[in-house]
Amino acid sequence: MSGFGHFGTFWMVSWVVWKIPARRAVKLAEFSHTEEGSSLDMLAAAESESVRPQLRRKFFLHALDEHRHAQWFAERATIMAPGRSQPHMILEDVSYIRDHGIRGDESLYEQLGEIEFLTFVWLQERQAGRQFGVYVRVLKDDPVTARMFEAVKEDERFHTNYSRLELDRLANAGQVTAVRRAAWRVRLRGFAQTWLRLARIIGDLMAGVWLLLLFAMLAPFALFARYFEPLKGGFLPALNGRERARAQAGSQA
């Protein structure tokens, strides 16, 4: 049972996320920023001087695809949750891409170099294609969004194929060791990032559990203290109408 197959891990997580109607528009708004971040990274790669003209054209087409996906997701999120909703706030957040670590100052191409960048694109796009395939199956009750994911999945197929073909070309040109090493590095980094994300989620969860336990342990003491020693100073309880009239009459007298 693969993670992307029916009842696989990814399928189950996606089912939980996408079956909550209020979450759908939020997810689409977040995805919109991720796609825009990818578009900017592909544009930066296309601008690089060392890129072959044919590959530059592919990078440029890829950037346009990602920008189009970002627009589709943003439009769908706005239709699903119009007005000043949470998705609207996410879409309006101009710092989202930087604050969420989608892109930094240095482009991914500059950070990784050509072979590792192509490997990253190949593995990421292949995974994205599988993810969108799962979303299409999960969103049968929302055919418009499902059709949009189907179209995105087709574009991801093109991104996966051209990056893989380019890596094969480099391997055939004598760079097979460099390509293999890059694949290892990208995979290891992916595992490390997944592990960190998981550790953060578990950390947040455990912090919540400890706070709840602390509250459950201390609450009886607070109730006892309140019962045996009622508040005398600080804020006073508000007077009701009759008490207020009596107090006023007393002060006027």
Residues that bind Fe ion (CB under 5 A): 35, 66, 69, 125, 156, 159
- Exposed/middle/buried for 252, CB within 10 Å: 0-12, 13-18, 19+? exposed
CA distance 212 to 208: 6
Q: Which is nearer to Fe ion, 68 or 185 (CB)?
A: 68
Q: Which is nearer to Fe ion, 41 or 66 (CB)?
A: 66
Q: Which is nearer to Fe ion, 80 or 128 (CB)?
A: 128
CA distance 9 to 200: 19
CB 125 within 8 A of CB 163: yes
- Exposed/middle/buried for 138, CB within 10 Å: 0-12, 13-18, 19+? buried
- Least distance from C-beta 164 to Fe ion, angstroms? 13
CB 152 within 8 A of CB 26: no
- Least distance from C-beta 210 to Fe ion, angstroms? 39
Helix and strand numbers (H, E) in the chain are 10, 0
CA distance 21 to 18: 7
- Least distance from C-beta 35 to Fe ion, angstroms? 5
Q: Which is nearer to Fe ion, 115 or 152 (CB)?
A: 152
Helix (H, G, I), strand (E, B) or coil at 223: helix
Q: Which is nearer to Fe ion, 24 or 33 (CB)?
A: 33
CB 90 within 8 A of CB 29: yes
- Least distance from C-beta 66 to Fe ion, angstroms? 5
- Least distance from C-beta 155 to Fe ion, angstroms? 6
Q: Which is nearer to Fe ion, 164 or 181 (CB)?
A: 164
- Least distance from C-beta 131 to Fe ion, angstroms? 10
